């Protein structure tokens, strides 16, 4: 990765090597009926989520 900063002096040109990284995150939820009456019911669910991110560079070193 080649990062050139042209803002406030001094000019900076930093070069970073590559790194292969991976981040994963997952959750699972389950529930049941915990409150019932003649005309309503509260509860009962199943859910899950999954997140994955890849990182192919280490970033900028200053």
pLDDT digits (tens, 9 = 90+) for 20-52: 677 888 999 998 888 889 898 888 889 999 999
Q: How many CA atoms lie within 13 A of 4 on its CB side?
A: 1
Quote the tokens at residue 60. 């900028």
Q: Does 62 fall in a domain?
A: no
Check residue 5 and give its pLDDT.
81
Q: Which residues of 26-57 are buried (b: 16+ CB within 10 A; e: fewer)?
A: eeeeeeeeeeeeeeeeeeeeeeeeeeeeeeee
Q: Does 33 fall in a domain?
A: yes
Check residue 47 and give its pLDDT.
93
Q: Does 44 fall in a domain?
A: yes
Tally of domains within the chain: 1
Domain boundaries, position 28: 2-57
Q: Does 12 fall in a domain?
A: yes
Q: Does 53 fall in a domain?
A: yes
Check residue 48 and give its pLDDT.
93
């Amino acid at each position: 990765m080649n990062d050139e900063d042209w803002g406030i002096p001094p000019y900076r040109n930093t070069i970073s090597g590559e790194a292969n990284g991976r981040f994963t995150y997952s959750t699972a939820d389950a529930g049941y009926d915990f409150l019932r009456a003649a005309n309503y019911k509260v509860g009962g669910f199943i859910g899950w989520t999954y997140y994955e991110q890849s990182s192919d560079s280490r970033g900028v070193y200053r």
